[in-house]
Amino acid sequence: MKVVRHPVNLGVGGPCRPASTGRSSTATTSGVQLDADGQHDPDYLAPLLAPVVEGRCDVSIGSRFVAASGYRAPFNRRIGMMLFQPS
């Protein structure tokens, strides 16, 4: 697995741009995007990618809300989640 790091924050789309436009310097079969704030545990990458690698699906999306984990979002985020939740 190769990890690409950027010297400055490029926002949510910056790291995806080279791969999506075909300008990536390496050939890839899968891509994973994790936030850099530590909310996502890299130990879950293998089970997250397993259905894709096995050909059972094209996309696999993880969520910390699927199973009870004890995670409690900060107050301001919980307010945003309530306000912007799709109806």
Note the pLDDT tens digit of each residue in 11-32.
767 766 665 555 555 566 677 7
- pLDDT tens readout for residues 33-80: 776 666 777 788 889 889 998 999 998 888 767 777 777 888 998 898
**Which one-letter DSSP state was computed for residue 54?**
T
Q: What tokens appear for 56 in the block?
A: 């059972």
Longest dimension (CA), the chain: 42
Please answer whether residues 33 and 16 qualify as being in contact, where contact means their C-beta atoms are separated by less than 8 angstroms.
Answer: yes
| pLDDT in the model for residue 55 | 92
**Among candidate residues 57, 61, 29, the one with its CA nearest the CA of residue 45:** 61
Question: What residue segments make up the domains of the chain, in order of their start?
Answer: 14-83
